[in-house]
Amino acid sequence: MHWIVSLMVWVAVLLVVYIAAKQLRLTGNGAAVPSQQAASTQPAPTAAPPQRQPMPPMQQPTARATTPPAGVNKCVINGQTVYTEAPCGQAMRALVGNAPTETPSNARQREMAEAAAAAKRAEEQLARQWDQRMAQRDRDLAAEAVAVQQQVSSVNAECARLRADRDGILRLSVTTQQMSPWRDNLNYIRKRMNESHC
C-alpha cells in the first residue's frame, strides 16, 4: 500500500512538471512572434491560463491520496491491519522488534502459572492419598481392635468354662477324681487352661 501511494505522488509530480513545461513553451512561442508589442498588453492573457491550468492536476493526486488520510499508512502485518504514520517497513520492524521482548515474558509467566497449577494439583493428590491411607489405617486398627476384643472375650469365656468344669471335678472325692473319666477330663482341663493362659 505504501509503494502505491508513493507511485501516485510521483506520477502527480511528473504530470505537474510536464504541464508547467508545456505552458512555458507555449508562453515562450507566443512572446517570440509579437516581439515589438508592449509587455503590458500581451503577458496578461498568457500568464493567467498557466496559473489556472496547473491547479486541476494538483487536485487530482490529492483527491486520490485522500482514500487513506495524508501521512497515515495502512499496513497488514502478520495478518493484522495496522494504521501508522511511519512507513510499513518501519512499523513491521518495530512490531517484530517488540515481539521477542514481550513473547518470552508472557511465555515465562504462562510456564510459571502452569508449573504452580501442576504443583498444586500434585500437592492436593498427595493430600488425598495421605487422607486415604490414614482412613484405611484407622479402619484396620478398629477392625484389629474388634478382633482382639472378640478373641479376648472368647478366651475369657473358655477359661471361665474350664474353671467351672475343673472346680466341679475337684469337688468330687479324691477316689472319684482318680477314676478314668474324671481324671482324663481334669488333665485336659489343666492343659487347655495352660494353653489359654487362664
pTM of the model: 0.35
Give the Å distances, CA to CA, from 78 to 93, 96, 145, 169, 190: 12, 10, 73, 108, 99
Distance of CA 32 to the CA centre of its chain: 81
Q: Is 92 helix (H, G, I), strand (E, B) or coil?
A: helix
* Residue type at position 152: V
Calpha distance 169→185 (Å, rounded): 8
For 185: left if phi > 0, alpha if psi spans -120 to 50, otherwise beta; the answer is: alpha
HSE of 123, CA atoms in CB hemisphere, 13 A:
6
Query: Is the CB of residue 146 less than 8 Å from the CB of residue 133?
Result: no
Report which of 19, 11, 104 is spatially closest to residue 64, judged by C-alpha positions: 11
Calpha distance 182→177 (Å, rounded): 5
Each residue's pLDDT expressed in tens, for the chain with a length of 198 residues: 667 777 788 888 888 888 887 777 766 554 444 444 433 444 444 444 444 444 444 444 333 433 455 667 777 777 777 777 777 777 677 666 555 444 668 888 999 999 999 988 988 998 899 999 999 999 999 999 999 999 999 999 999 999 999 998 888 888 888 888 889 999 999 998 898 888
C-alpha cell at 89: 517497513
The DSSP bridge partners found for residue 84 are 73
Q: Is 1 helix (H, G, I), strand (E, B) or coil?
A: coil
pLDDT at residue 153, as a whole number: 92
Cα first-last separation, the chain: 107
Phi and psi at 119, nearest 5°, equal: -65, -40
pLDDT at residue 61, as a whole number: 38
